Structure 1
């Protein structure tokens, strides 16, 4: 199938709409919830045994780049719009859950130095502990992963895409488990 004309412009439009909306809604929901006194936590026993792998902050952060690049892949307006609306829906559902049923992360992350420590510090400057469930990162990952999988045909590239996306999924467990303290 040939690519429809004007899709790059349409993708940029969607990205310019969804990017700021993401940061605004996510940031405001965290700020609002920080002032609440009815925020609980939910911790499973197995979570206490998850390791902190500082290097997984790299795949964790890479979803931001892949989010933007995913708008270069659709071949039709319909595919582009469905992709954008899926990302928007995941965001609206997750942020609504963060506001309606806030859950706080409760694990402590040890001090980290170097590049990984700096990346964690930058993340913590924006990402607050009031977004435990559902995992917006995983929801966005599934949508982005599906887009890349549809448009990656060569076997080696396909394996690399699947491997990296799986690593992003693992990074949610190995970066977040140690961020916050009771």
Structure 2
């Protein structure tokens, strides 16, 4: 249990997908103009992450890694399908995103309209694929560890985009120099937030 908590907290604050690895920056910068849309996209990313990473963990453990297909019989002990990892992971992500897109369109048409093209673009959000690839590289041993990592990574991305959206809403009433208005000041704020998150690097878990 302690290990799961460590993975969860570390994924949120220390190994934050945005501030530590710069993954998912395109939608992070584009959809963070209002808190409402940032909340919607953030929740969608958390949902997709929590489903895709555990599913990819199971596929990796029981299908892709060398010898994973031994449960089919001795003839499959030497089969290695790890070269299919990218294709399988992306296919799973695309399927889950499609489900999320249909659900959002049905239950919240206004949010669906506000998110626009960035909702289906979750399928190519590198933070989602990065979660699956990090899970594979770090060789988590249990489904619980993979799920804890997925939840922490998704929540970390969610906190980052909502915090930036809140700051950008306040900046509308600030006297920002003309050359920095828009994406310029957004990059500066993102950098300052990244520096703030770096303070968590000193925490030993």
Q: Same fold (TM over 0.5)?
A: no
**Which structure shows the higher helix fraction?**
2
Larger Rg: 2
